[in-house]
Amino acid sequence: MRKKLLSSILTAACTVCLLAGCGGTAGSGAAGTQAGASGESYKIGISQFAEHGSLDNCREGFLEGLKQAGIEEGKNLTVDYQNAQTDTGTASTIADSFVSAKDDMICAIATPCAASAYNSCMDTDIPVVYTAVSDPVAAGLANEDGSNVGNVTGSSDVLPVEEQLKMIRALMPDARKIGILYTTSEANSCSTIKEYQELAPKYDFEIVDTGINTPADIELAATDLVTKVDCLCNLTDNTVVNALQTVLDKANGAGIPVFGSEIEQVKAGCVASMGIDYYQLGIETGAMAAKILKGEASAKDTPYISASKAELYVNTAAAEKINMTLDQDYISGAAETFTEITI
């Protein structure tokens, strides 16, 4: 009789432990509603399209934004981070895996991952929060009026094209032709190229653009492009940014500058940029995501945001490498000046 009683007690105790263990991480796929109500943990899948500085800064900023809102990895947040390595098929597979895992939210970094995540979550209640998407409308994530197309929102890293053209004109008074490499399948890049073409004549520039389809095309395309232009302007095109050193090598060999689109590209060897702060953009996106996870807002009804302002970043070592003289009065107003190239 005593053995049967002991066995019953042990069985009941194990059952309680198992139930408690199952509730440790919310995987309801309902934006953490159950987690927010009971104080349990959240689980987020982070899909990043490529491994480079600007997107890394977005991810780190996103996690910091969540932390500032009381959602911290290792405490009440579990993160499944996966990188698509610039492959759209892999991005789709990653998004499907997060849906299968019933994550509370998907954070998608860069347009291909955002589009894949939205498509995978379309028939679920899992919200998608994106960042580093230059043109949410062109990417099919927002309507023409700026409203969200579904249970998806986030932040746009729309480039300050006119400010970039003003900067290039200030640093290269005699330049006429600007070369731009871009991936033809990236909607953001195509819309940005169009904006450059529309604004360039205002500053007496001509845009010479070259489209590529795969990373393998970049070396040959860059080799050809640097012979036709006075400088290169690099977008936030993920495929091209991932091969930035190849582009820089070709430009340096031709003795022409490359102007970046954000701080990490300048650190890596671009001469200058009127760029945005991706870490800060990530923080703002994380704050938005925290409200959605806590049930204080819905992704569908939360308007996407855009990077607030551009800052001038300069790399004097990159200029010296091609014997380029910089206007000291102009660069004195830079938010940050680098004196070495960090690869």
Helix, strand or coil for residue 307? coil
pLDDT in tens, 83-102: 999 899 999 999 999 999 99
Q: Are 298 and 320 in contact (CB under 8 A)?
A: no
Residues 161-275+310-338: name the CATH superfamily: Response regulator (3.40.50.2300)
Instruction: Pick the closest to residue 53 from 282, 332, 300, 306 (CA basis).
Output: 282
Q: What's the CATH number of domain 24-157+279-306, 1.10.1060.10, 3.40.50.1820, 2.40.10.340, 3.40.50.2300?
A: 3.40.50.2300
* Confidence at 186, pLDDT banded by 50, 70, 90: confident
194-203 mean pLDDT: 97
DSSP symbol at 53? H
Domain extents in the chain = 24-157+279-306, 161-275+310-338
* Confidence at 238, pLDDT banded by 50, 70, 90: confident
Give the rounded distance of the alpha carbon of 67 from its chain centre: 19
pTM of the model: 0.77
pLDDT in tens, 112-129: 999 999 999 999 999 999
Intrachain domains 24-157+279-306 and 161-275+310-338 with the same fold: yes
Interatomic CA distance for residues 138 and 190, integer angstroms: 9
